[in-house]
Amino acid sequence: MKALTFSEFGGPDVLRWTELPDPVPGPGQALVRLQAIGLNFADVYRRQGRYHLRGAPPYIAGYEGAGVVVSAPPGSGFAPGDRVGFADAPFANAELAAVDCERLIPLPATINAETAAAALLQGLTAQFLASDSHPLAAGETALVHAAAGGVGGLLMQWGAARGARMIGLTSSEAKAAVLRGQAAEVLVSPPGAAPDLTGLPPLDVVYDSTGMTVLDSLTQVRTGGTVVFYGMAGGTPPPVPPSILMDGSKRLVGGDLWNVLTGAEERRRRAAELFGLIESGRLRVPVAARFPLSEGAAAHALIEARGTVGKILLIA
């Protein structure tokens, strides 16, 4: 098979289109032929040597994809030809991947491989943020940092589908224009500048994925409100004095997708809710660009430029 690999850490130029032996599935694994692969910042961090990696050089990044089962063990519930996706299996940047069967998610007829690869990781993250970290309810007002990002954009739509007022923060007018074209309510706040919240109702919840703005988020949320911290895209967060939480009766909640994907049944239950929203049209999954997997270096350069709104896909 061919795979997008790297043997040293660095920029997109370290990526190579490499011939490798086909993976041999282990116990409880299916062999999947990839059709579409989701590119995420975690893949950039792995290429840069800043994030955990599986295996040995030449490394294969990628944890999210969709395709067709080539082979599966008896009793797994999967058979050759089944259409599947996954959000948390390693070595996805390849034509073939051996995937634990419990991590595979059957795809409905209405969900194609590209939609699955674009939606699963960020969509399941948005699902637990809106359901577990803070159950969004009709009539609530939420502020979403990095609303033009993959998770932020889907979280905005997820909350709106529940009747909440979702207000997104983004760093540029160009990104804001795209979001407004999707009927989103957006504020522009350049990095390092505090957003102008004048005229807005009290914020019931702030979803903060930038990290360094956590103290600002705790200031912005109403008395008795909640800040959900789920990322550090802007840098390491500062220490939070417990007195801030006490004085305003506020809650600071952490969130990580891997803590809720506890098994095959739970993974597929959550994915079914995600697919249902997509099928109903209440959740749109924007795709910013598609690249052949062999041209993954160009895709990495594009995602690092941070100028896109929507998912970047690698097509195997």
Q: Name the residue with tokens 């220490």.
A: 239
- Residue 108: per-residue pLDDT: 97
- Residue 198: per-residue pLDDT: 83
105-to-124, 264, 266 alpha-carbon distances in Å: 12, 8, 11
pLDDT (mean) for 41-46: 90
* Architecture of the domain delimited by 138-254: 3-Layer(aba) Sandwich (3.40)
Q: Name the residue with tokens 């967060």.
A: 237
* 2-119+262-315 CATH: 3.90.180.10
Structure tokens, 104? 């595979």
19's enclosing H/E stretch is strand 16-19
- Residue 117: per-residue pLDDT: 97
Q: pTM for the whole thing?
A: 0.91
Sign of the Cα pseudo-torsion (121, 125, 131, 132, in order): positive
- Residue 241: per-residue pLDDT: 92
Q: Cα–Cα distance between 180 and 161 in angstroms, integer?
A: 16
CATH 3.90.180.10 range(s) for the chain read 2-119+262-315
Structure tokens, 294? 């062999």
Question: Tens digit of pLDDT for each residue in 124-176?
Answer: 999 999 999 999 999 999 999 988 888 999 999 999 999 999 999 887 777 87
CATH 3.40.50.720 range(s) for the chain read 138-254
Neighbouring CB atoms inside 10 A of 199's CB total: 5
* 168 three-class SS: strand
